[in-house]
Each structure stands twice: as structure tokens, then as C-alpha cells.
């Protein structure tokens, strides 16, 4: 079955995702056709446990899927990545019928963590959950950036605890919940089709059974189940963008000619230096991604540190590589048809996605100095 999945993924990328990528970027439209095709092919359910009808794929396979999609379309890769990051929490604490729908490719989920009040400090939500008179829970929030907002079927949602101590509680919130609404458009520099829009909740009622894990334990749940997937797959997303930029740059530089010299652009030593640096940086980031997955699978002592490092390294690598690709390809890189400038724009997103590169650098420094990762921890 897994062999069929990889073949199906290749076909979806070649026949749907890649042909739609430029249109998705130009129009800033959600990649609905691509996501529908990925669902039908079994890709969206690939990381669901086998007991719930999925393939039981782990981080290694999820990273490969994310990278392959990112090479074709950054927006489609980001939507899929955020869905994959939500699945582990749902598998551990969510209702089985939702898992079955995801396994069947009929349910798209995503994370709703970032908020206007605490911005990229996702570990400190300011949104609230309170007991309602009808026995349900009332959610009130101003979520600032929610990938797939309005197109996902559900949100893995963070809030302050309902009653317990602790920084956070997680909830499964159906997108159709009354009082939950998309509160604005998205017209971004990059990842223009990922639907990253604000979502507000105004007295939105969910049952207490929508709680994912214990009240007040949401940060622990997120750190154990969501954050490793989010950080590793985000790194795979960045590596995919870098790889695409290298491929597209080399294709142009080895074919474009300086007719008066009878040479290609790649025949020029300074251009070859840029090509070599792009290749070195991309391969180094991929090696770290592979090592991070290996460390997690083996339970290595440095696994936690690697998880924090890998998103920052890959994000900065993608920015450097796409910048070099723009430089090496010159004026041609500014054309939409070459594809380099789309990768250049898409690559900027990972740096500021929480936890940002700056926050991850601080976390790595604190752990390296024997300090707790977060103040008060």
C-alpha cells in the first residue's frame, strides 16, 4: 500500500500540484484542487494510525511528502504540513470518527495557535474558554494567522485553561462552529495560496468533550505531539524550496548563453561559485533534517535540541539559497515563468512562523547553557 501511495503522490504532483502552482500564487487562491487530489490519493490520511484507517506514516515519511510538495508548490506544502502537525494530537486525544474521516481523505485540519494578543508567543494564549450555562464551553479569541482558514474542516485550537492551572488547553473546533468566523483576507508576499487568515471566535460553543488532553496541559501536549512535527516538517518545507530554487537556477544557467563568448552562464566562474554554494547549503540542511529524524527515532539525547535547531537552520538556508538563485540568474529571475522569484518569496515565511528563527535561537542557547527553555519552566 505504501508503494501505491508514493506513486499516487508523484502523479498528483505532476498532474495537479505543479500545473496549478503558478496560478495559485498569482491569484492568491487556496489550492483546493490539489488538496482534493491529495485526499483522494490517501496522502492526507498517510500519518493517521493504521488502527484508524491510515498508513501509520511517521515523521520521516511526512518530511519526504512535505519536501516533494514544496518543490512543486509552497502553498500546497504548507497546507499539508499544518494538517500533518494537527494529526498527532487528534490521534492521541481526538474523536475516532474524525480520524477515520482524515484517513479517508475527507477532512482537512490545521493549527490555530497564533493570536493577536500574544503574536508569535504561541505558548502564552490570551484567548479564553469559559463554562457556559448550557453545560458547554464558550470560546472567545482573536487568532491572527491560521493556515487554511475557512477551508479546513477543523482547527486544533489553543486557549487559556477552562478551570485548571497551566498555560494552555487545546480543543478540537469544527470550522463550522457558530461564532467562529474568518475575520479578514490574506494577500501576502509569499505562500499566497495557503489561506493564512485571522479567525475570531465570539462566544463559540463547543462541548467539553472537544478538549484535547487534560485542562491546562495543552502546552505539554503541544510540545510532545505537535511541535516536533511542526518544526521538522517546516524544515522539510524549507529544504524543498531550496532544492527547487537550485534546480531551476541550474536549468537556466546551463542553457542561457553569452553568444559573444560562445559560453553558457554556468561557464562563468563567479556563477559557478553561486551554484556551488546553493548546492552546499541545501545538502547541509537536508543532512541536518535527516539527522534530526534519526535522532528522534533513536531517542538520542540530543533529539530535543535537534528539533529546535532544524527549522531555524532550514529556514535561513532557504532564504540564503533563494537569494543566491536570484543573484545568479540575474534579470531572468525576476520573471514569473522561471519560478525562482516565487521560491524567493515563499522562503521568507518560515523565518517568522512561530516559533520564529529568533525564538528558536534563544531556546537553543538557553538549553545549551543548562537553562530552562521558557521562563518559569
What pLDDT is recorded for position 2? 81
Confidence grade of residue 361 (pLDDT, cut at 50, 70, 90): very high
Greater pLDDT, 121 or 16? 16
What does pLDDT average to over the chain?
Answer: 96
pLDDT tens across 67-117, in order?
999 999 999 999 999 999 999 999 999 999 999 999 999 999 999 999 989
Question: Cβ(160)–Cβ(171) under 8 Å?
Answer: no
Q: How far is CA 177 from CA 21, 162, 203, 215, 323, in A?
A: 31, 18, 10, 21, 42
Assigned C-alpha cell, 292 = 534530526
Calculate the alpha carbon distances from 36 to 32, 88, 190, 197, 262 in Å. Answer: 6, 21, 22, 20, 48
Predicted local confidence at residue 342, as pLDDT: 98
CATH superfamily of 2-107: Acyl-CoA dehydrogenase/oxidase, N-terminal domain (1.10.540.10)
**Class of domain 112-214 as given by CATH:** mainly beta
Give 35-52 pLDDT, tens digit per residue: 999 999 999 999 999 999
Per-residue pLDDT, 377: 56
Arithmetic mean of pLDDT, 3-27: 97
Residue ranges of the chain assigned to CATH 2.40.110.10 = 112-214
Q: Is 305 exposed, middle or buried (0-12, 13-18, 19+ CB in 10 A)?
A: middle
Smallest Cα–Cα separation from 24: which of 112, 139, 151, 132?
A: 151
What average pLDDT does range 240-254 have in this prediction?
A: 98
- Nearest residue to 157 (alpha-carbon basis) of 203, 222, 103: 222
pLDDT at 376: 63
Looking at the chain, the domain(s) classified CATH 1.20.140.10 span 219-368
> pLDDT-derived band of residue 119, with 50, 70 and 90 as boundaries?
confident
CATH superfamily of this structure's domain 219-368: Butyryl-CoA Dehydrogenase, subunit A, domain 3 (1.20.140.10)
Average pLDDT over residues 331-344: 95
Using 50, 70 and 90 to split pLDDT, how confident is the model at 1? low
Average pLDDT over residues 134-161: 97
Task: Tell me where in the chain the CATH 1.10.540.10 domain(s) lie.
Answer: 2-107
Model confidence over 273-324: pLDDT tens digits?
Answer: 999 999 999 999 999 999 999 999 999 999 999 999 999 999 999 999 999 9
pTM of this structure:
0.96
Does the pLDDT of residue 28 top 70, yes or no? yes
* 176 CB-near residues (< 8 Å, 6+ apart): none
Amino acid at each position: 500500500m505504501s508503494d501505491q501511495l508514493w506513486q499516487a503522490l508523484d502523479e498528483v504532483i505532476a498532474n495537479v500540484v505543479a500545473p496549478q502552482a503558478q496560478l495559485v500564487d498569482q491569484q492568491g487562491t487556496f489550492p483546493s484542487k490539489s488538496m482534493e487530489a491529495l485526499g483522494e490519493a490517501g496522502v492526507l490520511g498517510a500519518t493517521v494510525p493504521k488502527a484508524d484507517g491510515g498508513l501509520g506514516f511517521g515523521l520521516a515519511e511526512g518530511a519526504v511528502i512535505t519536501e516533494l510538495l514544496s518543490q512543486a508548490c509552497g502553498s500546497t506544502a504548507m497546507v499539508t504540513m499544518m494538517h500533518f502537525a494537527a494529526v498527532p494530537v487528534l490521534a492521541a486525544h481526538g474523536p475516532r470518527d474524525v480520524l477515520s474521516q482524515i484517513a479517508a481523505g475527507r477532512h482537512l485540519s490545521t493549527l490555530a495557535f497564533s493570536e493577536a494578543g500574544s503574536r508569535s508567543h504561541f505558548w502564552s494564549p490570551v484567548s479564553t474558554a469559559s463554562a457556559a450555562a448550557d453545560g458547554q464551553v464558550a470560546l472567545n479569541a482573536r487568532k491572527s494567522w491560521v493556515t487554511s482558514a475557512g477551508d479546513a474542516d477543523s482547527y486544533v485550537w489553543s486557549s487559556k485553561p477552562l478551570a485548571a492551572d497551566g498555560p494552555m488547553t487545546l480543543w478540537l473546533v469544527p470550522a463550522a462552529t457558530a461564532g467562529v468566523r474568518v475575520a479578514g483576507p490574506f494577500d501576502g508576499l509569499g505562500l499566497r495560496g495557503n489561506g493564512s487568515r485571522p479567525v475570531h471566535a465570539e462566544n463559540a460553543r463547543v462541548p467539553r468533550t472537544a478538549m484535547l488532553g487534560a485542562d491546562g496541559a495543552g502546552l505539554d501536549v503541544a510540545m510532545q505531539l505537535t511541535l516536533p512535527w511542526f518544526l521538522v516538517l517546516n524544515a522539510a518545507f524549507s529544504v524543498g524550496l531550496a532544492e527547487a530554487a537550485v534546480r531551476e537556477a541550474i536549468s537556466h544557467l546551463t542553457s542561457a548563453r553569452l553568444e559573444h563568448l560562445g559560453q553558457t552562464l554556468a561557464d562563468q566562474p563567479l556563477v559557478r561559485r553561486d551554484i556551488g554554494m546553493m548546492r552546499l547549503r541545501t545538502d547541509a540542511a537536508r543532512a541536518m533534517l535527516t539527522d534530526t529524524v534519526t535522532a528522534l527515532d533513536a531517542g538520542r539525547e540530543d533529539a530535543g535540541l535537534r528539533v529546535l535547531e532544524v527549522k531555524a537552520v532550514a529556514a535561513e538556508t532557504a532564504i540564503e539559497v533563494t537569494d543566491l538563485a536570484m543573484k545568479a540568474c540575474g534579470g531572468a529571475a525576476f520573471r514569473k515563468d522561471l519560478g525562482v522569484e516565487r521560491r524567493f518569496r515563499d522562503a521568507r515565511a518560515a523565518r517568522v512562523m512561530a516559533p520564529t528563527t529568533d525564538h528558536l535561537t534563544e531556546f537553543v542557547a538557553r538549553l545549551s547553557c543548562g537553562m530552562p527553555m521558557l521562563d518559569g519552566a
